[in-house]
């Protein structure tokens, strides 16, 4: 079964002359890393490649090889459409407007609904970039230094620098392998996880001043007004969720980010054993057991109330099930 899927992917890539590679809205390091590695890899095979992220490449990843070639919209016709790191079609956003569903769907989200014609989903992988690092060779692509930098970026981003509870020895071996293929680990670590724009640090300040708790749940909010106050250009949380989830003595951390389109972007982080992807799925989102998210239509106050209640009830029932 495993080798069968590799053969199918290898055959599809072999047949195609032109390829469209897409990933999800508000791309993170894994989305960008996997997209670039796949795109650059296909180019080494002489394919015509278009890489599309409807929200573009975030500033912290613009230095990666191929980042300047990423477009906001696809144009033209393609023999093969490949999606990386997106758990469902909606997550791809406008990048596929006017195009068919992906032929190949490569992802590691446990909530991936198998929207591709060929679906290669590995929920145990720490990142889609890890899947690609292990398998691009099986699909006929040699990893260049540019691809290695992209892939190590994806692994670092999704493991927060090898710190998440799903880390396995094999991930470190894969990272070591990528270093041998030319990845600059300290450099990519700094870009993906450490460096922040001044506006992001001020934005964190706004969020941190809203910090609240109930039992072992902690959360913060970021409003459109907060964003305007510190001129933060993004529509995300500037990774503030990672700061909040490092606070001692909490089981679940949440952040609520008000969006211009009348939705609230909610992110959850939880300790091992507590599956917040189920709550996210209930609100139309998805993700991983320990890190999930959802874009929910409604006002900040409404969404906050509903999400806090549902999450709190899940936490209470988890407590009751004796898993703590």
Residue with the shortest CB distance to Mn ion: 30
Closest CA to 214 of 295, 120, 315: 315
At residue 293, the 3 state secondary structure works out as strand
Give the torsion sign (CA, 135, 109, 176, 51).
positive
Question: In this structure, what DSSP letter does residue 98 have?
Answer: T
Q: Which residue has the tokens 């068919």?
A: 100
- Decide whether 50 or 153 has the Cβ nearer to Mn ion: 153
Quick one: 292 or 303, whose CB is closer to Mn ion? 292
- The residues in 99-128 that bind Mn ion, with binding defined as CB under 5 A, are 127-128
| Dist. CA 190–CA 292, nearest whole Å | 24
Among 35, 38, 61, 85, binds Mn ion (CB under 5 A): 85
User: What is the β-pairing status of strands 48-52 and 252-258?
Assistant: unpaired
Q: Is 130 in the site for Mn ion (CB under 5 A)?
A: no
Provide the minimum distance between the beta carbon of 298 and Mn ion in the complex, in angstroms, as a whole number.
Answer: 27
Stretch that binds Mn ion, among 83-91, 191-199, 249-257, 265-273 (CB under 5 A): 83-91
Taking each helix axis from N to C terminus, what angle separates 128-135 and 169-180, rounded to the nearest 10 degrees?
A: 60
E-assigned strand segments in the chain = 18-22, 48-52, 80-84, 104-107, 118-121, 212-214, 217-222, 252-258, 263-270, 286-288, 291-297
Q: State which residue, 127 or 241, has the beta carbon closest to Mn ion.
A: 127
Select from 71-79, 139-147, 151-159, 182-190 the region that touches Mn ion (CB under 5 A).
Answer: 151-159
Q: Which of 51/217 has CB closer to Mn ion?
A: 51
What is the Cα–Cα distance from 314 to 4, expressed in whole angstroms?
Answer: 39
Question: Taking CB under 5 A as the rule, does residue 258 contact Mn ion?
Answer: no
Site map 32..71 versus Mn ion, x via CB under 5 A: ----------------------------------------
Q: Which is nearer to Mn ion, 103 or 158 (CB)?
A: 158
The CA R_g of the chain, rounded to the nearest whole Å, is: 19
| Least Å from the CB of residue 17 to Mn ion | 29
DSSP output for 230-248: TT---SS-TTHHHHHTTST
Inter-CA distances, 36 with 29, 64, 154, Å: 10, 8, 10
CA gap 39, 19 in Å, rounded = 8
Is position 30 an interface residue for Mn ion (rule: CB under 5 A)? yes
Question: Which residue lies nearer to Mn ion by CB, 47 or 288?
Answer: 288
Could you write out the DSSP letters of every residue in 154-185?
HHHHHHTTTTSTT--HHHHHHHHHHHHTT--H
Q: Which stretch binds Mn ion (CB under 5 A): 72-80, 84-92, 229-237, 261-269?
A: 84-92
Site for Mn ion in 154-173 (CB under 5 A): 158
Nearest distance in Å: CB 290, Mn ion: 13
Stretch that binds Mn ion, among 8-16, 79-87, 204-212, 284-292 (CB under 5 A): 79-87
Q: Which is nearer to Mn ion, 227 or 269 (CB)?
A: 269
Q: Considering the complex, what minimum distance in angstroms separates the CB of residue 74 from Mn ion?
A: 21
| 127/136 with CB nearer Mn ion | 127
Q: Which is nearer to Mn ion, 85 or 226 (CB)?
A: 85
Binding footprint of Mn ion, residue count (CB under 5 A)? 5
Q: Which spans of this chain sit near Mn ion (rule: CB under 5 A)?
A: 30, 85, 127-128, 158
């Amino acid at each position: 079964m495993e080798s069968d899927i590799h053969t199918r992917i290898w055959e599809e890539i072999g047949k195609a002359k032109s390829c469209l590679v897409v990933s999800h809205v508000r791309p993170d390091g894994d989305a960008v890393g996997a997209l670039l590695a796949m795109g650059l890899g296909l180019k080494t095979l002489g394919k015509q490649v278009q890489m599309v992220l409807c929200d573009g490449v975030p500033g912290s990843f613009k230095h990666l090889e191929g980042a300047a070639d990423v477009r906001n919209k696809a144009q033209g016709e393609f023999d093969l459409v490949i999606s990386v790191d997106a758990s469902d079609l909606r997550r791809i956003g406008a990048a596929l407007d006017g195009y068919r569903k992906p032929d190949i769907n490569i992802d590691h989200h446990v909530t991936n609904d198998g929207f591709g014609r060929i679906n290669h989903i590995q929920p145990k992988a720490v990142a889609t970039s890890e899947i690609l690092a292990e398998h691009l060779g099986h699909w006929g692509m040699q990893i260049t230094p540019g691809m290695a930098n992209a892939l190590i970026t994806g692994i670092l981003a999704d493991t927060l620098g090898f710190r998440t509870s799903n880390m396995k020895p094999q991930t470190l071996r894969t990272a070591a392998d990528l270093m041998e293929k030319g990845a600059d680990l300290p450099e990519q670590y700094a870009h993906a996880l450490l460096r922040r724009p001044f506006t992001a640090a001020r934005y964190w300040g706004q969020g941190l001043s809203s910090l609240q708790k109930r039992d072992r749940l902690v959360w913060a909010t970021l409003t459109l007004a907060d964003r305007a106050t510190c001129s933060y250009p993004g529509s995300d949380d500037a990774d503030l969720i990672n700061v909040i989830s490092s606070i001692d003595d909490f089981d679940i951390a949440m952040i609520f980010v008000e969006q211009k389109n009348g939705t609230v972007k909610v992110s959850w982080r939880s300790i091992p054993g507590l599956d917040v992807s189920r709550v996210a799925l209930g609100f139309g989102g998805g993700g991983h057991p320990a890190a999930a998210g959802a874009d929910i239509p409604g006002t900040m106050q409404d969404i906050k109330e509903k999400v806090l209640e549902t999450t709190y009830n899940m936490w209470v029932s988890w407590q009751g099930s004796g898993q703590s």
